[in-house]
């Protein structure tokens, strides 16, 4: 069946909710009961928490090849199968090994899904709608985090049953991908100009983008993996209270796309500095007041808005800096963020074991502030020499996609999907 642009955006958001929200970020929500039942130390939890990020990097590295060989439909189905399998393994885990294998499989699911959906978007959605559709799909991460909340509120301590329900949702996602996504997807049209050679890429700006994304991921690992355990262990709150943390993160994260778009239209370095300061403040606040439900929920709101805004900003910058490379631009910053989270997770765990939660979170908050101070070095999306010629319409996520595909003369490439639509409308206009 042929999906409309709206239908594809909603399907993509649902699949992202499963692969990113449930298979990846929901893990931190269940750390307190998992750690207690399986008898795991903070350091071991930190190591396990880094595994899905490592597998995400490995899967993302081969995802363009997998998508090219299998097509969008089968790549998404493969992603969903890893997600369903990994979530099932987590639900039956009896020790750290089985738990680690499960979360590792979930990371593969996450790494394959976005490239598969990006490929499908090229075949289904008009290029003029790519920015809007991508924003809706990216919101799926927050939606998935929100979906995980009722499982904690109504199944307190029943983390195994919660993961069984997540596995069932992943199975439904596999069926939906099989029925609705195209089997073959074109990534780059044959009449598009060749992307710039590697020697002509803006390597200095790409390196700076990757470093900032890595450091943001490193700092954010403390919250994603250990914030729920902090309020239970240090603050003495009941495990069900952690659900409100993730609800606040998810709700605030929905506004991240708007903030990221505004950042690209105004001053990306300054906005990055502000968002990093907010992210650091959320770590300091939850560490200082872990026994205050309202303050911890407020810290989660701040963290969700800051994290999703920063990932959206990095996404746009990556797309702009790699024109013509549709399979690399959108995922490069996410790979850097994930590498930072994979590195930060065990570091946080060891610091928690050695110094306690409060000091560990304070150290990471200080690092976040230091990175924010370095934000003037962030690669703004528009080169300094072009600033005077840029209009407001040439910024934002849609403009980033518009600049991806050019013809040999450097003009935006005509979208064949829009041409097909015009041909279908012409007979109706001239009976």
- Rounded to an integer, what is the distance from CA 77 to the centroid of its chain? 19
pLDDT above 70: percentage of residues in the chain? 80
Tell whether the model's pLDDT for residue 58 goes beyond 70: yes
Which residue has tokens 């029925």? 179
Domains 1-186 and 201-405 share a fold: yes
Token output for 51: 């595994």
pLDDT above 90: percentage of residues in the chain? 32
Cα–Cα distance for residue pair 16/34, rounded to 1 Å: 24
Other Cβ atoms less than 10 A from the Cβ of 1: the count is 5
Per-residue pLDDT band at 308 (split at 50, 70, 90): confident
Tell whether the model's pLDDT for residue 67 goes beyond 70: yes
Question: What does each C-alpha distance from 51 to 195, 243, 300 come to in angstroms?
Answer: 33, 23, 24
Q: What is the mean pLDDT of residues 112-123?
A: 85
Per-residue pLDDT band at 247 (split at 50, 70, 90): confident
| CATH of 1-186 among 3.30.70.1140, 3.20.20.80, 1.20.1250.20, 3.40.640.10 | 1.20.1250.20
Q: What pLDDT, in 10s, does the model give residues 24-38? A: 878 877 888 888 899
pLDDT of residue 108: 94
Q: What is the mean pLDDT of residues 47-56?
A: 88
Q: Are 53 and 337 in contact (CB under 8 A)?
A: no
Cα–Cα distance for residue pair 72/182, rounded to 1 Å: 6
Q: Are 48 and 349 in contact (CB under 8 A)?
A: no
- Rounded to an integer, what is the distance from CA 193 to the centroid of its chain? 29
Q: What is the mean pLDDT of residues 267-282?
A: 91
Which residue has tokens 């991508």? 134
- Out of 99-113, 255-269, 277-291, least confident range: 255-269
- Rounded to an integer, what is the distance from CA 373 to the centroid of its chain? 24
pLDDT of residue 415: 60
- Out of 71-75, 234-238, 382-386, least confident range: 382-386
Tell whether the model's pLDDT for residue 326 goes beyond 70: no
Say how many Å lie between the first and final Cα of the chain, rounded. 28
Tell whether the model's pLDDT for residue 373 goes beyond 50: yes
Cα–Cα distance for residue pair 139/135, rounded to 1 Å: 6
Q: What is the mean pLDDT of residues 70-89?
A: 93
Tell whether the model's pLDDT for residue 399 goes beyond 70: no
Cα–Cα distance for residue pair 265/262, rounded to 1 Å: 5
Q: What is the mean pLDDT of residues 161-189?
A: 84
Question: What does each C-alpha distance from 220 to 36, 89, 130, 216, 347 come to in angstroms?
Answer: 23, 26, 28, 6, 12
Tell whether the model's pLDDT for residue 263 goes beyond 70: no
Q: Where are the domains of the chain?
A: 1-186, 201-405
Cα–Cα distance for residue pair 54/60, rounded to 1 Å: 10
pLDDT winner (highest mean) among 123-137, 335-349, 408-422: 335-349
Average pLDDT, the chain: 81
| CATH of 201-405 among 3.40.50.720, 3.40.50.970, 1.20.1250.20, 2.60.40.1180 | 1.20.1250.20
Cα–Cα distance for residue pair 114/120, rounded to 1 Å: 10
Greater confidence (415 vs 3) lies with: 3
pLDDT of residue 414: 62
pLDDT winner (highest mean) among 350-354, 379-383, 391-395: 350-354
Q: What pLDDT, in 10s, does the model give residues 184-238? A: 655 555 555 566 666 667 788 889 999 999 999 999 999 988 888 888 888 888 8
Helix H or strand E segment including 112: helix 96-124
């Amino acid at each position: 069946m042929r999906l409309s642009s709206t239908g594809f955006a909603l399907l993509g958001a649902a699949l992202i909710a499963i692969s990113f929200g449930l298979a990846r970020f929901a893990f931190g929500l269940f750390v307190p009961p998992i750690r207690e039942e399986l008898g795991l130390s903070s350091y071991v939890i930190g190591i396990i928490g880094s595994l899905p990020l490592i597998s995400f990097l490995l899967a993302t590295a081969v995802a363009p090849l997998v998508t090219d060989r299998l097509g969008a439909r089968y790549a998404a189905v493969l992603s969903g199968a890893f997600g369903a399998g990994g979530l099932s393994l987590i639900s039956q885990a009896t020790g750290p090994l089985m738990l680690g294998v499960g979360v590792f499989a979930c990371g593969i699911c996450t790494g394959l899904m976005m490239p598969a959906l990006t490929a499908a978007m090229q075949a289904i959605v008009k290029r003029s709608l790519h920015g809007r559709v991508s924003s809706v799909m990216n919101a799926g991460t927050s939606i998935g985090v929100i979906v995980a909340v009722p499982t904690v509120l109504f199944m307190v301590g029943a983390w195994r049953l919660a993961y069984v329900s997540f596995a069932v949702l992943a199975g439904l996602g596999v069926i939906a991908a099989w029925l609705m996504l195209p089997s073959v997807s074109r990534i780059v049209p044959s009449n598009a100009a060749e992307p710039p050679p590697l020697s002509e890429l803006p390597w200095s700006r790409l390196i700076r983008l990757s470093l900032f994304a890595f450091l943001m991921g490193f700092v954010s690992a403390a919250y994603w993996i250990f914030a729920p355990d902090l309020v239970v262990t240090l603050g003495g709150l009941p495990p069900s209270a952690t659900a409100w943390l993730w609800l606040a993160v998810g709700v605030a994260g929905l506004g991240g796309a708007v903030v990221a778009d505004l950042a690209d239209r105004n001053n990306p370095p300054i906005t990055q500095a502000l968002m990093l300061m907010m992210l650091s403040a959320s770590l300091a606040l939850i560490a200082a007041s872990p026994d205050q439900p309202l303050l911890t929920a407020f810290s989660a709101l701040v963290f969700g808005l800051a994290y999703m805004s920063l990932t959206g900003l990095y996404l746009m910058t990556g797309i702009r800096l790699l024109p013509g490379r549709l399979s690399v631009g959108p995922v490069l910053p996410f790979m850097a963020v994930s590498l930072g989270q994979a590195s930060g997770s065990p570091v946080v765990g060891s610091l928690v074991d050695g110094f306690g939660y409060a000091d560990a979170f304070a150290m990471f908050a200080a690092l976040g502030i230091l990175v924010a101070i370095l934000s003037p070095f962030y690669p703004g999306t528009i080169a300094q020499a072009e600033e005077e010629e840029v209009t407001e319409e040439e910024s934002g996520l849609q403009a980033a996609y518009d600049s991806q595909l050019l013809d040999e003369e450097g003009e935006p490439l005509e979208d064949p999907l829009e041409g097909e639509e015009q041909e279908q409308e012409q007979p109706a206009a001239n009976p």
